[in-house]
């Protein structure tokens, strides 16, 4: 197992039990749905299992789920085969998409696994695919000072609040002995200070700000909201980053 894609394509145990897995994806889908404008075209890049993508699709005209892990992508295709609004695809197929063809791009809990060049390439792709008045949401960005202990504490709090605290405690021990921990130790996570990540978005042609809270249960991580810069859209054509429809 040489990469994070290999890990997530395997029969891993990152979720401590079925309840954790279900609640994890439900919470993310509910948080993300708050950013979807009615009838919008949404692209979720690195969507993972996306168990509750139907929550997002209910508000959207089209939801494109993009996943690199082949077996995960195959399960998604089966799960949502009868959902006419949902399309499942791989990242390589995005190159042929027309410019300005989506209104919202989501990339949640993916940036930490990307090299600097991979992140820049993804941001350039999003910049091209987004409508001039579109929105990019990047969630779960990790600060340099955020430790594995902080992540573990966040999971335990989530478990305590939703009835799987003991399972979370046992799961953390299991994780330390699993390929996940060995891979995390070997490859690490890419981490960003607030200003450094905002600068990267700026270089890619976005204006951005941090959301009031992160998507999902881990409040120690960051979510950024970004829009194409005014140089392309014009001041009159841009929407404010802070709107009543966004989570506070």
Domains of the chain listed by start with CATH number: 4-230 (3.40.50.150)
The pLDDT-based confidence of 2 (bands split at 50, 70, 90) is: low
Q: How far is CA 193 from the centre of its chain?
A: 18
Q: What is the pLDDT of residues 78-134, one digit of tens each?
A: 999 999 999 999 999 999 999 999 999 999 999 999 999 999 999 999 999 999 999
Top-confidence residue, 189 or 23 = 23
Q: What is the pLDDT of residues 42-54, one digit of tens each?
A: 999 999 999 999 9
Pairing state of beta strands 102-108 and 130-141?
A: parallel
State pTM to two decimals: 0.86
Question: Percent of the chain, pLDDT > 90?
Answer: 70
Please determine, for residue 58, whether its predicted confidence score (pLDDT) is greater than 80.
yes
Q: What is the pLDDT of residue 237?
A: 39
Task: Give DSSP secondary structure letters for 179-231.
Answer: HHHHHHHHH------HHHHHHHHHHTTEEEEE-SS-SSS-TTSEEEEEEE-HH
């Amino acid at each position: 197992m040489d990469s994070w894609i290999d890990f997530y394509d395997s029969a891993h145990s990152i979720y401590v039990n079925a309840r954790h897995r279900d609640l994890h994806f439900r919470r993310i889908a509910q948080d993300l749905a708050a950013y979807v404008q009615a009838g919008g075209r949404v692209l979720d890049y690195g969507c993972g299992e996306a168990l509750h993508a139907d929550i997002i699709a209910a508000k959207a005209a089209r939801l494109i789920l993009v996943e690199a892990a082949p077996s995960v992508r195959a399960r998604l295709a089966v799960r949502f085969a009868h959902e006419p609004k949902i399309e499942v695809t791989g990242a390589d197929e995005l190159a042929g998409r027309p410019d300005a063809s989506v209104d919202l791009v989501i990339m949640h809990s993916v940036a930490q696994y990307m090299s600097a060049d991979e992140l820049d390439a993804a941001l350039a792709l999003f910049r091209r695919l987004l409508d001039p008045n579109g929105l990019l949401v990047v969630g779960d960005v990790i600060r340099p000072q955020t430790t594995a202990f902080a992540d573990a504490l966040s999971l335990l709090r989530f478990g305590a609040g939703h009835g799987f605290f003991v399972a979370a405690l046992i799961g953390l021990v299991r994780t330390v002995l699993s390929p996940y921990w060995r891979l995390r130790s070997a490859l690490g996570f890419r981490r960003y200070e607030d200003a450094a990540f905002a600068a990267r978005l700026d270089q890619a042609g976005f204006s951005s700000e941090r959301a009031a809270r992160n998507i999902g249960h881990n409040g120690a991580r960051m979510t950024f909201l970004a829009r194409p810069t005014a140089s392309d859209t014009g001041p009159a054509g841009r929407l404010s980053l802070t709107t009543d429809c966004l989570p506070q």
